Structure 1
Amino acid sequence: MAVLEVLLAALAVTGAATNLYVSSYAGSVTTLSLTKGNSGYDLTNTSSSQGCGSSPSWLELDKATGILYCIDEGLSTPNGSINTLKTSTNGVLTPVEHHDTITGPVSGIFYNSGKESAIALAHYSGSAISAWHTTAEGKVSYIENITFSMNRPGPVAARQEAPHEHEAILDPTGRYLLFPDLGADLVRVYSFDASTSSLVEREPLKADPGSGPRHAVFWSPDKSYARNSTLYFFLIHELSNTITSYRVRYEEAGGLAFEKVQTINTFGGKTVPTGAAAAEIIKTPDNGFIISSNRNDTSFLIDNPDPKNSTKIASDSLSVWQPAANGTLSFIQLAPAGGSYPRQFSINKVGDLVSVGLQMGSAVVVWNRDLKTGKLGDLAARIGVPGQITCVVWDE
């Protein structure tokens, strides 16, 4: 009887499905189902929703409420938008609300959790940030817009003709919001009024001229991320293809102080391929590694996803790093992303699977990952998704 129970439990785990949500410039949010069988993983398309405007650019899942926040960049409309969808175990997404925003939102983050819960958005083409109240039912209401301008273009005039806020980030204490600005070579820093969720400007981080800050991640050698822990900020730059690490200190009067520790190119010091453009950066669930993505570098030739076609295809890359207690990064691996333009990627909560959204490859690929070495391994699953893929998130 005990043996039978073990076998049944094993079968249940093998057949368990995990949903992933994928946004695409085709105007859709797709639900994928990932299941593991005896012969490996299977990735299938279970549902698709048009409830996020014409240009979905970012997804943020409130796991506590089951509400998926979808941000529409508004590439073909006068405005962007913020949209909420109710998730379900079968993958079907039900639209809840839609609100127009300033054009160009490309990222969002929840903050001020509790009675005055809110979400902050970074607007790339709108040169702005915005803040919105949220509810457990997926209702959204406007708080404020904050817009920015520049007196003159930055060093890379074609890309730095205006401020371009590229990501919204929450610090580990939950007290500060940060917005890398690719156009102004800044990371804008804000605190907020806990009673209203309105934003309060603080002293920004000034990045190297012409570097083009894009995304960032906080990391501490102390896995507890206690308030007195040593804290670092890893900032990836799209234009210079570099990652800069900063020691972070909380100022007594409010705000954050940044001390530069290291700058390294996104290929571990090797020559950066012509045309490469750094994109995403995340830390792994075990806190032991950092992963970043490189677009348009075509560092690899990989097997064609069509089994009937033996012609190999070009693949951009993911870089794996190991952070040290002093805030420096050691290069561990350059691995294939699975195709063209890994704009964004995410990792499951165990840390053994990495899902990559291939913007120009119109596909989602899932890679196995070794928990001990941190390295990416064999391909676990792959599926085509219509349009340019902008974001993929796990629902676990």
Structure 2
Amino acid sequence: MNNNKSGGMMISPRMGVHWCAGLLSMLVLAGPVAAQPCEGTDFYIGTQGSGPGQGIFAARLDERQGILCLVGLAAELERPTWIEAHPTRPLLYAASDDKAANETRGRVLVLRPAGDEGRLTVISSADSGGAGATHLTFDAKGKAIFTANFRSGTAGVLPVASDGTVSAPTSTVQNVGTGPKPRQTSPHAHGVALDAGGKYLFVPDLGADKLFVYRYDAGQGSLVPAAEPSVSLPPGTGPRHVALHPKGRYVYLMSEFSPVIWVYRQDTKTGGLTLLQSIATGTDDEADTIKGAEIAVSTDGRFVYTSTRGEDTIGVYAVRRDGTLQEVQRVPSGGKVPWSFRLHPNGKWLLVANQGSNSVTLFRRNARSGKLEPAGQPLTVNLPTSVAFLAR
């Protein structure tokens, strides 16, 4: 594993002690100090890093101390922007796309832990079903993984074998449409989410200003347009990511160019969507610098979380009985450009990947109120974009 330089001193994860982010900063400012060992849950950080020493990084969350610690480089890869953990196996999946090389096909990589220091080994890879692989999601049992391919505007479904390996897509679908903004000259699939019943795949498309709905046949591994194949959003909205309520009745869409949550009620039989509410996550922005980014629903379905770039905030929203939202908190993300975030599986923590400040920040989460409280010191990682916890 590659070493990290700090103040002319080599800090290696092989030393057997994981160094806390805040204490690493003290090394630079005040010379060598005794570091506290960091023990807790391992997690991984996807990045937009490219070249030697860049890729997926391993880190650790010490829940007792409320701190994050860097373990080191886990796998040297080109732009593993989005990473996703298998729902039941200790395997990590990465959407890898070499933007600089203008590759015509993205890849989905499967990585397995190797050793005690967070290292990962690639055990399988397959075509993502298009160019610019940017987002991944699983079905509930981990037998299929779905891809969003930004540059080609396509979505795909890849079968996952019993050992976790992937093979070529069994089905791909092409979004269609354009919008008025310079980045909307063609369709750009930006996210994928499968509904709770495993029957419908939702694909927000930033270029087409549409949320596409595809019917998924698990037996055939196929995607076809639903009876109502899409819903349109106002021109220049830029749909980005979707989060689904665990009970399968509500769909929450985050748009990028307009930082707004769009709340829909889903017809679970047809996949059809009815708009219930739109709620802004950022202020009006004539300079077009405030943009929506990530959205997620707590596992109990009581709260929705968002990140908004430009204002660099995390929003907390309570879910009413009818699925609509009420804002309860908006806090600074602790860095710049909060690209995405991840709720800890136990619901007690939220980690934010701040791509613009090369930092990952930690928040304590109150399960009753949904509110967040900053914890520890930021973790320094180059161009972080996603976070994932492996299944135990």
Give the equivalent residue in structure 1 for 2:121. 94
Cα shift at 1:272: 5.0
Q: Distance in 2 between matches of 1:271 and 1:16?
A: 43
Give the equivalent residue in structure 2 for 1:43. 68
Is 1:74–1:103's contact at 8 Å kept on the other side of the alignment? no
The counterpart of 1:262, out of the listed 247, 254, 277, is 277
Give the equivalent residue in structure 2 for 1:134. 160
The counterpart of 2:107, out of the listed 81, 89, 94, is 81
Secondary structure class of the residue paired with 1:159: helix
Give the equivalent residue in structure 1 for 2:172. 145
Matched, 1:204 2:230: yes
Secondary structure class of the residue paired with 1:190: strand
Q: Distance in 1 between matches of 2:76 and 2:151?
A: 22
The counterpart of 1:296, out of the listed 296, 306, 310, is 310
Cα shift at 1:73: 2.6
Cα shift at 1:111: 2.6
Give the equivalent residue in structure 1 for 2:194. 170
Cα shift at 1:249: 1.1
Secondary structure class of the residue paired with 2:190: coil
- What count of residue pairs does the alignment treat as equivalent? 343
Is 1:51–1:83's contact at 8 Å kept on the other side of the alignment? no
Secondary structure class of the residue paired with 1:64: coil
Q: Distance in 1 between matches of 2:93 and 2:243?
A: 21
Q: Distance in 2 between matches of 1:136 and 1:326?
A: 39
- What letter corresponds to residue 394 of structure 1 in structure 2? F
Is 1:265–1:272's contact at 8 Å kept on the other side of the alignment? no
Judging changes above 3 Å, is the alpha-carbon distance between structure 1 residues 97 and 200 closer, same or farther for their aligned structure 2 residues? same
Secondary structure class of the residue paired with 2:272: strand
Give the equivalent residue in structure 1 for 2:144. 118
Give the equivalent residue in structure 1 for 2:33. none
**Structure 1 residues 178-327: aligned runs within 5 Å:** 178-202=202-226, 203-219=229-245, 225=247, 231-251=249-269, 255-267=270-282, 271-272=284-285, 274=287, 275-297=289-311, 316-327=312-323
Cα shift at 1:30: 0.7
Cα shift at 1:273: 7.9
Is 1:65–1:136's contact at 8 Å kept on the other side of the alignment? no
Question: Could you list the runs of 5+ residues in structure 2 that have no partner in the other structure?
Answer: 1-36
Q: Distance in 2 between matches of 1:379 and 1:118?
A: 36
* Alpha-carbon displacement from aligned partner over 1:322-381 (angstroms, at most 9, x marks no partner): 111122211111101011111110111222211000111111111112222211113234
Judging changes above 3 Å, is the alpha-carbon distance between structure 1 residues 145 and 256 closer, same or farther for their aligned structure 2 residues? closer
Judging changes above 3 Å, is the alpha-carbon distance between structure 1 residues 331 and 70 closer, same or farther for their aligned structure 2 residues? same
Q: Distance in 2 between matches of 1:366 and 1:346?
A: 10
* Alpha-carbon displacement from aligned partner over 1:117-174 (angstroms, at most 9, x marks no partner): 2211001112111221112323211123333443xx4122x12111010111010111
The counterpart of 2:386, out of the listed 383, 386, 391, is 391
Give the equivalent residue in structure 2 for 1:349. 345
What is the Cα-based RMSD across aligned positions, in Å?
2.2
Matched, 1:24 2:47: yes
Secondary structure class of the residue paired with 1:50: strand
Judging changes above 3 Å, is the alpha-carbon distance between structure 1 residues 287 and 192 closer, same or farther for their aligned structure 2 residues? closer
Secondary structure class of the residue paired with 2:204: strand
Question: Could you list the runs of 5+ residues in structure 1 that have no partner in the other structure?
Answer: 1-13, 298-315
Q: Distance in 2 between matches of 1:140 and 1:349?
A: 24
Secondary structure class of the residue paired with 1:163: coil
Secondary structure class of the residue paired with 2:199: coil
Is 1:55–1:76's contact at 8 Å kept on the other side of the alignment? no
The counterpart of 2:133, out of the listed 98, 102, 105, is 105
Structure-1-length-normalised TM-score: 0.81
- More displaced 10-residue stretch of structure 1: 339-348 or 209-218: 209-218
Cα shift at 1:85: 0.3
Cα shift at 1:63: 4.0
